[in-house]
Amino acid sequence: MCEKLSEHYKIGNFSVGNLLREANNPEVEDCMMNARIVPLKITIGILMDAVAKSKFEMLLIDGFPRNMENLQGFLSNETVKNTVAIQGVLYLSCSEKVCTERVLKRAQAPKGDSPSSSALARKDDNLSILRKRFKSFEVETKEVITEFEMRKIPVFEIDSNRPVDDVFEGVIEMKCLNSSK
């Protein structure tokens, strides 16, 4: 979804999961294969390196922060304080069933064939790890969404149980990224 939005709005997009996979770091791979949160210092270092190299003024950061430690560490990081202004949060809510179906379909698709595929194979796209990731989301990431709301940072929630093209159109209609066009 973020790739489609990035193309539509001509803005940058970073999938934190993909950035971490590309890092080729054994500690990161161990965390991902066991559905654990990657240590904050590693994640922020990799993410901010990508942000620094970006030519875009507006970015979608997909999949971060995952928990309150991520959020607090991100917000207190001096580089982040000096270079990042959070405009809002796009929260694509999805049932575990639909999410599982999509991820397993992505895992089976040849590289580049799935609408949500990336150039990287994802070793962590399997049922066991996906269940752990979903549980982690329910326990840890929803707390981050609540914190953004408490900080008066707009949270744009859209039901993403619908077909991907319908979700995309819903995000466009929501006008949560219109300041970029």
The domains found in the chain, sorted by start residue, are 2-180 (3.40.50.300)
The pLDDT value recorded for residue 124 is 65
Query: In 3D, which of 178, 78, 84, 162 has the Cα closest to residue 170?
Result: 162
Q: What percentage of the chain exceeds 90 in pLDDT?
A: 57
Please state the rounded mean pLDDT for residues 1-26. Answer: 92
Please state the rounded mean pLDDT for residues 140-154. Answer: 94
The pLDDT value recorded for residue 150 is 96
Q: Report how far residue 139's alpha carbon sits from residue 108's, in angstroms, rounded to the nearest whole number.
A: 28
Asked if residue 79 lies in contact with residue 48, where contact means CB atoms within 8 angstroms, the answer is yes
Asked if residue 135 lies in contact with residue 67, where contact means CB atoms within 8 angstroms, the answer is no
Pairwise pLDDT comparison (167 vs 128), residue with the higher score? 167
This prediction's pTM: 0.79
The pLDDT value recorded for residue 119 is 43
pLDDT reading at 70 higher than 60: yes
Q: Report how far residue 145's alpha carbon sits from residue 78's, in angstroms, rounded to the nearest whole number.
A: 22
Residue 128, CB half-sphere, CA atoms under 13 Å: how many? 4
